[in-house]
Structure 1
Amino acid sequence: MKSKTVLAESCRSRIFSPIKESRREQSGFTLLEVLVAVLVLSFGLLGLAGMQLKGLQSAHLSYQRTLATSAAQDAVERLWVKLWKTPDSCPDPVDVTTEWHDAWKGVLVGMDTAGSDITASGCEYLISVLWQDERFSAEGDVSRLVYVARLPQAP
């Protein structure tokens, strides 16, 4: 019986010994592998930060365009009021432009009163809202909104 036990232990040690030796040779990560992992992680985090910044810029631009659209709609409503007061003729945009600028220059930050204008061709009005934002200078002409409105003419 003793010989069977010795034989079994010697077989067991031959089977498992290469695994134990190979684990001792690779006992962990090398410093180079850790540095590569940190480098890959840092590039990923930089990309994530860039996407977050672009998302914030786009949200702010959307907010400004919403304000510009509201300002243009307000100009149209002011023209409707002038038309209601004098239904015989199309309102003159000069009568509306000054009070419209005064009302919106504090709301839409950077609204350029020289570039924001209301022009008319008959009862068709072209309302341009222009504001300044240096953060989007590389994007092109994103700080300009053109709104067209047509009021009914007197019969």
Structure 2
Amino acid sequence: MNKRKQQGFSLIEVLVTSFIVAFGVLGMAALQLKSLQTAHSAYQRTVASVIAMDVVERLWANMAMDTPLTEAQLQEQSLAHWQQTTNNRQSLPDLGLAITNTAGTNTYVITVDWGESRFGANDVPSQFVYSVDLYPSS
């Protein structure tokens, strides 16, 4: 009886190992891409929140004016301010802004819209809705 000693890996074992490693690396790349997408979406929501808070500050300032602006004028002013990118201010792609007031109350609903076109999302519209009650000073 002649027994052969096994020396090293066979070609099939090397191929299977290579396939498993390649599959793992692909999974890690997909995970990294999803992480980037989520971080960018969170960044855009943060900018939308800052825009909404800026509109709230403008509403408060408008209440103190002798001749207050209309909601449409405030909306136009705020939108123009945030569509410009001077002074390194960050904005959102396809930015849209709506300010609505519930009739007879001091409740304002601020809606910030933007297009989510990064990472192949096919311009999925994103929206941030913020509601605030402004109470008049006595």
Alignment TM-score, normalising by the size of structure 2: 0.81
Contact 1:111 1:129 in 2 (8 A): no
Q: Which residue of 1 aligns with 2:87?
A: none
Q: Which residue of 2 aligns with 1:101?
A: 79
Aligned: 1:40 with 2:23:
no
* Aligned partner of residue 132 in structure 1, secondary structure: strand
Query: CA separation in 1, counterparts of 2:95 and 2:47?
Result: 14
Give 1 or 2: higher strand fraction.
2
Post-superposition Cα deviations, 1:48-99, rounded to whole Å, max 9, x if no partner, equal: 0000000011111111000000000000000000012249xx8632231111
Structure 1 stretches of 4+ moved >4 Å: none
Aligned: 1:69 with 2:49:
yes
* Aligned partner of residue 25 in structure 1, secondary structure: coil
Rg larger in structure: 1
Which residue identity does 1:54 align to in structure 2?
K
Unmatched segments (≥5 aa) in structure 2? 85-89
Q: Which residue of 2 aligns with 1:9?
A: none
Contact 2:107 2:133 in 1 (8 A): yes
Unmatched segments (≥5 aa) in structure 1? 1-20
Query: CA separation in 2, counterparts of 1:126 and 1:86?
Result: 23
Q: Which residue of 2 aligns with 1:27?
A: 7
Give 1 or 2: higher helix fraction.
1
Alignment match of 2:107 (pick from 101, 113, 124)? 124
Query: CA separation in 2, counterparts of 1:81 and 1:105?
Result: 21
Number of residue pairs aligned between Structure 1 and Structure 2: 128
Q: CA deviation at 1:109?
A: 2.7
Q: CA deviation at 1:153?
A: 3.4
Query: CA separation in 1, counterparts of 2:10 and 2:66?
Result: 85
Q: CA deviation at 1:120?
A: 0.7
Query: CA separation in 1, counterparts of 2:6 and 2:79?
Result: 74
Q: CA deviation at 1:137?
A: 3.6
Q: Which residue of 2 aligns with 1:144?
A: 127
Alignment TM-score, normalising by the size of structure 1: 0.73
Q: Which residue of 2 aligns with 1:6?
A: none
Q: Which residue of 2 aligns with 1:14?
A: none
